[in-house]
Amino acid sequence: MTRALFIVDVQNDFTEGGALGVDGGDAVATAVTAHLHAHAADYDVIVASRDWHDGEGDNGGHFSATPDFVDSWPVHCVAGTSGADYDPGLDTSSVTHHVKKGQGIPAYSLFEGVTDAGETVADILTAHGVVEVDVTGIATDHCVRASALDAIAHGRRVRILTDLIAGVAPAPSESALAELAHAGAELAVSADDHDGTP
């Protein structure tokens, strides 16, 4: 059965010390790297996303000097800056597709991103016949949630690897996981059933 791995926004601005640093972000980078070293061969497609916002303007209201931390945020992940780079603990050597999202507009789901060649994630999954998607990354209550819900909406069987995610805050992260489970996602840990068999 064809399987993909999503690595959502494991970037410097979302890990400790970043503009919107999440507690446990660096640990997620290290843990995803360990998972890739052990299990990259289990996946036909490995997609890593990055917020990649314009340095000029407010990116469609996404940036604000007085953010509400719901729809508007401090400046983060500006294209070409170190904040937009992958966390140094994340080894991306086995990533098959890199997508950038939020170029001038708000974007939360990895499905809103495109590769430098202009490919969408939906097109990549379809081209490779992907049926199952494992989701990892940052943040549980925002971009991980949105990416997983979109994968479900696109008809894929979704598994959230709960030891490979980190959220902004406990309560909304728990709510996001409950919402995802209700939508049909499986909540699992990375050690569960990764031999690639149907």
Any idea which residues carry the catalytic annotation?
A: 9, 101, 143
Contact (CB, 8 A) for 73 and 64? yes
Token output for 70: 């719901």
> What's at 32, amino acid-wise?
V
The Cβ of residue 69 has, within 10 Å, a number of other Cβ atoms equal to: 12
CA-to-CA dists, residue 190 to 3, 28, 38, 122, 171, angstroms: 14, 12, 10, 24, 22
Residues 6+ away with beta carbon under 8 Å from 31: 163, 164, 190
Token output for 113: 């991103």
